[in-house]
Amino acid sequence: MFDSGQQLHSLPSMIWSEITEDGAISGGYLLFQLIGLIVAGFAAERLARRLLEKATSKPVEVLPLKRRFDLACFGAAMGLIELGAFAVGAILFVEITGRNTEAAVMLWYQVIWCLLLIKLVLLGVRQVASPGSSETRLIAISDNAARQMWGWTLVLASILILPRPIARVAVDFGASEETVLLISVLTGFVFVSLVIALVIQLRGYGARLIAGDDNSGFIRQSLARTWWILTIGYVLLIWLMSVGKRAATGESSLVPGLGSLLLFVAIPYLDMGLKQLITWYFEKPEAEAAADAGTAETGGEVPAEAAQAQPVSEAEGGAEEPSEFESGYHATALRYARVLMVLALLGIFVRLWNIDLEAITGQLVGERFASATFDIGVTILLAWALWGVIRISIERKLEGEKGAEGESDEAEAGGLGGTRTETILPLIRAFIKITLIVMTVLICLSSLGVNIGPLIAGAGVVGLAIGFGAQTLVRDIVSGFFYLLDDAFRIGEYVVIDQIRGTVEKISIRSFQLRHHNGPVHTIPYGEIRSLTNWSRDWAIMKFELRIPYETDIEKVRKLIKRIGIEMSEDPIYGPLMLAPVKSQGVNRMDDSALIIRCKFTAVPGQQYLIRREAFTRIQREFEKEGIQFAPRRVLVEATSPQEAAKAAAGALDQEIQGGAEGGSKSSDQM
């Protein structure tokens, strides 16, 4: 290393001697060429920018995220044209001025190439951070932070790129590998020191970005406090790995080292992108439904500005984590996505450094178990990810089915139940879960070298034995399968089975549970069902009777009931619950004291009792306004003495009371 240091000390004089041909070309002329190529390049770039100025005009207002991304891509294309103009101007100046040695030409081309690389990096930062235009900025940072980001990128890119021509020239002039390694170590040390200084400066900003709100978990708060320490350790580790690889193999470690740093820097932005993607995926149906509702209410199209307002606010929110992520499907989907993202980044990291994980694991636990551990890990991971996707999809579908019911809070027994999807999906979810568990266990056992053939055969024999020994169980399962296939009942529907009635509350493979309207729960095996009556399908017809005196105008009563039915159909509360309005069917029968008028209506199942109560209330009110009386029940008794008359009247009254009690009990059972 001492020899390399001495060689490094004498290297500038060696290079100067070569490019000046031992003093044949003056240093002033070389300085003129260096300044001239830079000025000529910038002049050509400026000219190209002026020519493209109309095509790259800046907007005067904040644009939606998609529009800003399109402008960034267009600006990057224009920037590449400007870089091409810079390279052409600088190269033309070098060629026109002439009087260059071969070593000088090589040096100038290296300088031009390094300047182009630096400007290319700055072009990427400019399109993302937009230091001079917050309207087109892709990330949610302040103007000051954008300018600091551009400045730090300029410094770090210069430190990282400018030593490259020095090392290349040193090799061309006969410097040893140790000298080149020493140059790389020194420039890498300066670069790492600046990165560490940047991390220390941004530790407060990073802590606020990671911590989010005050209600975040303990792990997240701890990570927010210590992230900068972990980052410094990661940077030092990457630098040591780069130096070790260069010293051991002599190969450049710039790509894996810089790639590893970029992977670490990309984590928060990838996480932000995942959040926005998942938010868009989950909220798109709701947004479309809201837009459809707005269109239906206004009778026209939703303005484009209103449709774009929500995405813009989300994009401007930047690092702010929406409250929906704290619970529900958003959090579950984001957790799966984050795990897959981390695994993908680890895979890229391993690929960059050519790390043989299987060989390392084999040294620790043996080759056989190393291969099995890798297969088992991949199997469990894939099964876990697949189950997560399936579970979230099924739960989202179930949530959508529940949200679409919209029943009244006063719905009684016999109301509309859930959809067929809501009934079947829980059974499918349980079946898929059990299948995934069994398949995962079998694959893991096979990876460990266990012969799973006898296990599968044994399972078949056990299943056959269970089939012969538990015929009732098989009958229940098969019967349940065909009942569900026939769509005989669903979750939430009111059914009657022999003398048992209630609302379907839970469905399993062998049986289902009914909740009686008084509270008890009945568990009924499918095989015990002989006949099933479903009270919750399609519609419910309700009929009731009115007693009016003989002298009442029948046509007037009919018109009153028809008007009441129309008013209830137009009512915002009762109208959606009615499928056909209340109407009179005329005189159904006559008794010795009144005309019996029958009325009917059709309603949503379970809502007929609510509508009947409201119909009774309105009919009574209208009859009172029109002076129409309800006919009381009267008993005519022919007797020879008052005692016999009183006895006959008491018997008729008892019979009437008993009939009313039986009718009320039957109505209660039907509910």
Q: Report the 3 state secondary structure along 221-267.
A: HHHHHHHHHHHHHHHHHHHHHHHHHHHHHCCCCHHHHHHHHHHHHHH
Task: State the average pLDDT over residues 391-399.
Answer: 78
Distance separating alpha carbons of residues 444 and 553, to the nearest angstrom: 85
Alpha carbon 514 to its chain centroid, in Å, reads: 35
Task: State the average pLDDT over residues 514-543.
Answer: 84
Q: What percent of the chain has pLDDT over 70?
A: 71
Range with top average pLDDT, 152-156, 296-300, 475-479? 152-156
pLDDT score of 599? 92
Residue identified by tokens 């095996």 is: 525
Report phi then psi at 472, rounded to 5. -65, -40
Sketch the domain layout of the chain as residue ranges: 12-175, 177-251, 456-534, 540-634, 635-671
Least confident range of 179-193, 220-234, 281-295: 281-295
| Residues 456-534, CATH architecture | Roll (2.30)
Could you read off the pLDDT of 444-487 as tens digits, one per residue? Answer: 888 777 777 777 776 666 666 666 556 677 777 778 777 877 77
pLDDT interval class at 233 (50, 70, 90): very high
Of residues 287 and 665, more confidently modeled? 287
| Residue pair 122/82 in contact by the 8 Å Cβ criterion | no
Q: Is the pLDDT of residue 404 over 50?
A: no
Of residues 604 and 664, more confidently modeled? 604
**Exposed (0-12), middle (13-18) or buried (19+): which is 482, by Cβ within 10 Å?**
exposed
Mean pLDDT of all residues in the chain?
A: 75
CA-based R_g, the chain, Å = 42
Distances (CA, A) of 485 to 125, 420, 478, 480: 59, 10, 11, 8
Distances (CA, A) of 377 to 387, 443, 448, 473: 15, 11, 12, 37
Task: State the average pLDDT over residues 135-155.
Answer: 78
| Residues 540-634, CATH architecture | 2-Layer Sandwich (3.30)
pTM greater than 0.75 (yes/no): no
pLDDT interval class at 262 (50, 70, 90): confident
Could you read off the pLDDT of 94-135 as tens digits, one per residue? Answer: 888 765 667 777 778 888 888 888 888 888 888 887 787 777
**Helices 218-249/203-211 angle, 10° precision:** 130
Bridge pairing between strands 511-515 and 595-603: unpaired
- Provide the residue type at 447 as one letter: S
Could you read off the pLDDT of 275-288 as tens digits, one per residue? Answer: 878 877 766 555 55
- Comparing CA positions, the residue from 37, 128, 118, 123 lying closest to residue 80 is 123
- Comparing CA positions, the residue from 484, 601, 476 lying closest to residue 493 is 484
